[in-house]
Structure 1
Amino acid sequence: MIINTGMRTDIPAFYFEWFMNRIREGYVLVRNPYRQDWITRYELDPDVVDCIAFCTKNPAPMLKYIDELKRFHQYWFVTITPYGKDVELNVSPKEQVMQNFITLSKAIGINCIGWRYDPIFIDSTYTLERHLSDFETMCRTLSGYTEVCVISFIDIYEKVARNFPQARTVTPQERVAIGKAFAEIGQRYGISIKACAEGNDLAPFGVDCNGCMTQETFEAAIGCSLDIPKKKSQRAECSCVLGTDIGAYDTCAHFCRYCYANTNRENVRRNIRLHDPNSPSLVGTLCEGETFHPAEQVSWINNQLSFF
Structure 2
Amino acid sequence: MIISASRRTDIPAFYSDWFVNRLREGFVYVRNPMNYRQISHISLKPEVVDCIVFWTKNALPLLTKLPVIDAMGFVYYFQFTITPYDAKLERHVPDKYQIIEGFKRLSDTIGKERVVWRYDPVIVTKFFSVSKHLECFSALCQSLRNYTERCVFSYVDVYGKHKGRQEGAAIVELEDEARQTIARGFADIARENRLILQVCVEDLDRQRYNISEAACIDREIIETVTGYKLKPKKDNNQRSGCRCLESVDIGAYNSCRHGCNYCYAVDDDYGACKNSVYHQIHSPLLLGQVEAGDRIIPRKLTVLRDKQEALFEL
TM-score by length of 2: 0.93
Contact kept, 8 Å, 1:14 with 1:252, in 2: the verdict is: yes
Contact kept, 8 Å, 2:120 with 2:154, in 1: the verdict is: yes
Which residue of the partner structure matches residue 163 of structure 1? 165
Q: The residue matched to 1:39 in structure 2 has which SS? A: strand
Q: Deviations over 1:12-46 (max 9, x none)?
A: 11111111111111110000101111100111111
1:150 aligns with 2:155: no
Percent of aligned positions with the same letter in both sequences?
36
Pick the aligned partner of 1:244 from 241, 245, 248: 248
Deviates more, 1:192-201 or 1:115-124: 192-201
How far apart in 2 are the matches of 1:82 and 1:185?
Answer: 16
Map 1:121-140 onto structure 2 (within 5 A). Answer: 121-140=123-142
Which residue of the partner structure matches residue 111 of structure 2? 109
Instruction: State the Cα distance separating 1:210 from its structure 2 match.
Output: 4.6
How far apart in 2 are the matches of 1:266 and 1:49?
Answer: 34
Which residue of the partner structure matches residue 12 of structure 1? 12
Closer, same or farther: CA 123–230 of 1 in aligned 2, 3 Å = closer
Q: How many residues align?
A: 308
1:208 aligns with 2:212: yes
Q: Counterpart of 1:105 in structure 2: which amino acid?
A: S
Q: Deviations over 1:263-296 (max 9, x none)?
A: 1123213311211111100111101242311111
Instruction: Please list every run of at least 4 consecutive aligned residues from structure 1 whose deviation after the TM superposition is greater than 6 angstroms.
Output: none
How far apart in 1 are the matches of 2:246 and 2:182?
Answer: 26
How far apart in 2 are the matches of 1:53 and 1:230?
Answer: 16
Which residue of the partner structure matches residue 76 of structure 1? 78
Instruction: State the Cα distance separating 1:250 from its structure 2 match.
Output: 0.6
- 5+ long unaligned stretches in structure 2: none
Closer, same or farther: CA 159–222 of 1 in aligned 2, 3 Å = farther
Root-mean-square deviation (CA), in Å?
A: 1.7
1:199 aligns with 2:217: no
Q: Deviations over 1:188-215 (max 9, x none)?
A: 2121111111134333101112533321
1:222 aligns with 2:226: yes
Q: Counterpart of 2:30 in structure 1: which amino acid?
A: V
Q: The residue matched to 2:233 in structure 1 has which SS? A: coil
Deviates more, 1:34-43 or 1:124-133: 124-133
Contact kept, 8 Å, 1:143 with 1:191, in 2: the verdict is: yes
How far apart in 1 are the matches of 2:74 and 2:30?
Answer: 20
How far apart in 2 are the matches of 1:126 and 1:220?
Answer: 37
1:306 aligns with 2:314: no
TM-score by length of 1: 0.95
Instruction: State the Cα distance separating 1:299 from its structure 2 match.
Output: 1.8
Which residue of the partner structure matches residue 120 of structure 1? 122
Q: Counterpart of 2:27 in structure 1: which amino acid?
A: Y
How far apart in 1 are the matches of 2:185 and 2:107?
Answer: 25
1:264 aligns with 2:268: yes
Contact kept, 8 Å, 1:55 with 1:77, in 2: the verdict is: yes
Q: The residue matched to 2:212 in structure 1 has which SS? A: coil
- 5+ long unaligned stretches in structure 1: none
How far apart in 2 are the matches of 1:231 and 1:262?
Answer: 22
How far apart in 1 are the matches of 2:166 and 2:245?
Answer: 29
Deviates more, 1:293-302 or 1:155-164: 155-164
1:49 aligns with 2:59: no
Q: The residue matched to 2:30 in structure 1 has which SS? A: strand
